Structure 1
């Protein structure tokens, strides 16, 4: 359960801003903004989605900083009233929509801060997913760094050794002498190198980043969408609470993520698939060894694309967007480069510049 996971982390005082009131769009404004988001999706060629705890709340897994979040209630000596086990939790409508958008070539990559394994259970291939903070259903070898799917969530967090030998020889390859560790990060752990590299490269070449259910308080995870802006892309934020980067977004939608994406899929004319246990790799792991390692070929291919598109390109300074005007511009199709001057204020806050100077080798794990 989320509470048990949170309790398993080392003590840490700086858990971010907690309990900020939620905001909800009017239905008319919600519909208007969903049309704008659908149009952005239609026009974009490389879309990256950043997911946080807010996409899993409808599965019964509480978030951490919301009004009823784990850490918000912890300050009051309370626990969430709804708290399903990770083993029993099933992918939400949002998880299944994202899988379908990837299959439809509308979304090219998903970057997740979640450790609940619901992207894995949805059947989303590893090729399209970065898990920056780990996964409760993954073991990792301490030597060869290969990852394997578990049938049950780990009982420990913080990369602790299970004592189980690495399964790398299962496919006829040379056996590894390493041991398996849980794949869940604790405070101050370094992010997994390959997941972080893929996230940085995809975010940089994206012409649209969509953030779902996250306040973006984590670094470096929360700053990855800024890479999209630096290279001229657009940023959309869908969350019930204000986020760290609201003043930089081209479009903000304050509503339930499931409802937002449901409307967007209807506008796009794409059917939402049902969850199928036959596609849940944790079920397959009950009887077979399932490799969850990022392919070296995928890393090499993505690096070439990144260098071809971004190497030598001067990054743009991130200016504060004028949200009052940005929705009108998006809906009316006035989102070309020569119209961007109408969407920004001619000022840069000092703290915004500092946000970009982040050491990506360490994580401050405010999940």
Structure 2
């Protein structure tokens, strides 16, 4: 069912939230655009101007690693200035109320954690861009450490422990999905009674499989996204309106 207007959609969503015992939100880039974080895939987005650097290329080429870090630091002011939006704050309110055990996200911006959801309860399918990690031994580095070395000679640094490349703690094209996050997302999807997909085009797999997994396990499915998705026909409610306006009424005190 596609909501005929924002008001009726919000009212129906409120009824579904009130009736649900366990809600699992699944968030994509759309929830963060009002916070100033660009949607990488949309027309005019970052990836239409800069080709993504696949993981194999990052590993094989110093030049690719240098370019990856140049792009990341060019975005630093954007990420640093971003604050949780109405959508993030609404989900944090539901989390504090005990309705939401955890959030599954495709986002890498750390805004769910900043909204008040415990880091262990933010299931990051595509990692996190606010810190770095060695791709060999997994040791964690702060971005300031990377930037200091990058600025010194213009080259992406290697790990001080094992000499393997240091990369943002994100999942690049061609890089394996995090097993623990995928397993936990699977369990959450299979055991909720309301699954809300928010701001995701639902085209990136395997992450896009979770809404239908939840639906097939008996959950009601809500999709909140400005553009149509391939899963709209299976949803119990589709709201094609601004995410902040849709979820704003659910922001608690």
Q: TM tier, shorter chain?
A: 0.7 to 0.9
Change beyond 3 A, Cα 1:103–1:145:
farther
Contact kept? 1:56, 1:92, Cα under 8 Å: yes
Partner of 1:163: 159
**Which of 183, 196, 200 in structure 2 is aligned with 1:210?**
196
Structure number having the greater strand percentage: 2
Q: CA deviation at 1:41?
A: 0.8
**Which of 213, 219, 228 in structure 2 is aligned with 1:227?**
213
**Which of 88, 97, 107 in structure 2 is aligned with 1:104?**
97
The residue correspondences of 1:42-191 to structure 2 (distance < 5 A) are 42-72=18-48, 85-140=78-133, 150=142, 162-165=158-161, 181-191=167-177
- For 1:130 and 1:211, locate their aligned partners in 2 and report how far apart those are by CA, in whole Å: 14
- For 2:185 and 2:145, locate their aligned partners in 1 and report how far apart those are by CA, in whole Å: 24
3-state SS in 2 of match to 1:86: helix
- For 2:197 and 2:120, locate their aligned partners in 1 and report how far apart those are by CA, in whole Å: 19
Change beyond 3 A, Cα 1:125–1:35:
same
Rg larger for = 1
Q: CA deviation at 1:135?
A: 0.5
Contact kept? 1:62, 1:68, Cα under 8 Å: no
3-state SS in 1 of match to 2:227: coil
Instruction: Give unmatched runs, 5+ long, in structure 2.
Output: 52-74, 151-155
TM-score by length of 1: 0.54
TM-score by length of 2: 0.76
- For 2:239 and 2:142, locate their aligned partners in 1 and report how far apart those are by CA, in whole Å: 36
Is 1:196 matched up with 2:189?
no
Q: CA deviation at 1:112?
A: 0.7
Query: RMSD between aligned alpha carbons?
Result: 3.1
Contact kept? 1:37, 1:264, Cα under 8 Å: no
Aligned residues: 221
Structure number having the greater helix percentage: 2
Instruction: Give unmatched runs, 5+ long, in structure 1.
Output: 1-23, 76-82, 167-176, 272-367
Q: CA deviation at 1:149?
A: 7.7
3-state SS in 2 of match to 1:240: coil
Partner of 1:257: 243
The residue correspondences of 1:197-346 to structure 2 (distance < 5 A) are 197-265=183-251, 270-271=252-253
